[in-house]
Amino acid sequence: MAGKTSKYIWFSITAAVFIYTAALTVRNLMNMISLHHRIGMLEDQRDMFQSRITEDSTMLERLNYDEFLEQYARERFHMQRENEYIYIIE
């Protein structure tokens, strides 16, 4: 009878260790999946910001020229010269 009891104890201990290990593995797997998702989102944001930086750098370079600056001011802010009338058609 002592051999049977010992067998059940070892089986119970083995099952408990297996369940504990499985729980830790599942939790780590879930964390890894969420981290990969977060990394993907951050890489998308990085790409978006890099493209906006490129666009803004191009805009700043173009604003150094007076002709473009005047055109930009007229289109964006509806500015006008003296004795000039502007009609906005939408």
For residue 55, what pLDDT is reported?
95
For residue 81, what pLDDT is reported?
77
- Of residues 7 and 53, more confidence is placed in 53
For residue 44, what pLDDT is reported?
97
For residue 1, what pLDDT is reported?
53
Mean pLDDT, rounded, for 63-72 = 84
CA–CA dist 38, 24 (Å, integer): 21
Cβ–Cβ under 8 Å, residues 58 and 64: no
What does the domain layout of the chain look like in residue ranges? 2-77
Question: pLDDT tens across 3-48, in order?
Answer: 677 888 988 999 999 998 888 888 888 999 999 999 999 999 999 9
